[in-house]
Amino acid sequence: MEQTRLSFHKEIAKNKRSSYLLIGTVLIVLLALVYSIGFVMGPDYFFIILIAGTIISIIYVTAGYYKSADLAIAASNAKKASGPEYRQYHNIVEGLCLASGLPKPKLYIMHNQQINAFASGRDPQHAVVCVTDGAIEKLTKQELEGVLAHELSHIANYDIRFMTLTAVLVGMIAIISQIFLRTLFWSSMTGRGNSKNNNNTIMMVIGIALAILAPILVALVQLAISRKREYAADSSAVKFMRTPTGLIGALKKIQHNTPMKVSGAVAPLFLAKPTKEKEWFQTHPPLSKRIARLERM
């Protein structure tokens, strides 16, 4: 039986809806955690915990957001792609930018023989694209176009901005949970616990369970959001090129990659995850699933 062809327009819309639903899940977990902490600790401690957690997470993530491109380039030890050997690289990006209406990002090269690439930057005006030597040397022109179209799609879809919002929310939950658990521990050590009626005891148990489980749950949700953004970038790349052939060819070659040694901070940015883990704990969908979806477009 012949499989139904996928529409890249519908796939882009579907993956964006899924991302927003997952963000909604993170917000619900945050509200549940905040409510339980407020009930257990009382308004005074609650506002201190909430304000401290919010300020710390926003400062930390915002600093990374505005320096995302510089940090990614430094962490990967990439160099500017200058010289005649990178003329095709520049020409392909210029052509894709003209077709998509994006400004041309700064182009970099990473000296590694594995096939991979990444994009970073808070918006199209402050974006960078980096490919490995392996991508330049081992991919055909059409396959390299597919890879670069995928990376430009991340820029066009403002994925760095979207993932920064997710990181702020996830960071808030993790920090608030830690402050809450440490405050409870301090209160129990100093004998300043609240009333021991049954209702308060139940809410305290719920609050402790949420504080322990919430960071784990939202971290898994964050990974799911990242996977949806990868599917969306694949679909957008097909939209730019009007064919999935190039990206399919590149992903099939990447399947034979050996794991790359890169910083954990930049690993999620790459076209394909440099290391291998179980799917739930990956920032990227399995290559086999991505190829199967592209072959149906």
DSSP 92-143: HHHHHHHHHTPPPPEEEEE--SS--EEEE-SSGGG-EEEEEHHHHHHS-HHH
pLDDT band at 244 (very low <50, low <70, confident <90, very high): very high
Percent of the chain surpassing pLDDT 70: 77
Token pair 């402790």: residue: 208
* Lowest mean pLDDT, pick from 118-132, 197-211, 239-253: 197-211
User: Who wins on pLDDT, 205 or 152?
Assistant: 152
Cα dist from 276 to 76, 134, 264, whole Å: 18, 19, 12
Position 197 pLDDT exceeds 60:
no
Residues 100 and 152 sit within 8 Å (Cβ to Cβ): yes
Residue 1's pLDDT is what?
41
Residues 107 and 81 sit within 8 Å (Cβ to Cβ): yes
**3-class state of residue 285 by DSSP:** coil
Residue 91's pLDDT is what?
96
Position 195 pLDDT exceeds 60:
no
C-beta neighbour count of 56 within 10 angstroms: 16
* Lowest mean pLDDT, pick from 116-120, 125-129, 180-184, 233-237: 180-184
pLDDT in tens, 22-81: 777 777 877 777 777 777 776 666 677 667 767 776 776 677 667 777 878 888 889 999
Residue 4's pLDDT is what?
65
Integer Cα distance of 135 and 150 in angstroms: 14
pLDDT band at 95 (very low <50, low <70, confident <90, very high): very high
pLDDT band at 295 (very low <50, low <70, confident <90, very high): very high
What is the DSSP code (8-state) at residue 270?
Answer: B
pLDDT in tens, 105-142: 999 999 999 999 999 888 889 899 999 999 999 999 99
End-to-end CA distance of the chain, in Å? 16
Average pLDDT on 152-161 reads: 86
* Lowest mean pLDDT, pick from 6-10, 47-51, 220-224: 6-10
Q: Which two tokens stand for residue 211?
A: 């504080």
Do β-strands 117-120 and 106-110 pair in parallel, antiparallel, or remain unpaired? unpaired
What are the φ/ψ torsions at residue 5 (nearest 5 degrees)? -70, 140
**3-class state of residue 80 by DSSP:** strand
Rounded to the nearest integer, the mean pLDDT of the chain is 80
Position 219 pLDDT exceeds 50:
yes
Residues belonging to the active site: 151
Integer Cα distance of 216 and 287 in angstroms: 25
Average pLDDT on 243-263 reads: 85
Average pLDDT on 226-233 reads: 87
Token pair 């597919």: residue: 146
Q: Which two tokens stand for residue 230?
A: 């990868």
Integer Cα distance of 291 and 296 in angstroms: 9
**3-class state of residue 79 by DSSP:** strand
Integer Cα distance of 191 and 177 in angstroms: 21
What's the order of all strands across the beta sheet hosting 128-132?
79-80, 106-110, 128-132, 117-120
Instruction: Quote the pTM value.
Output: 0.75
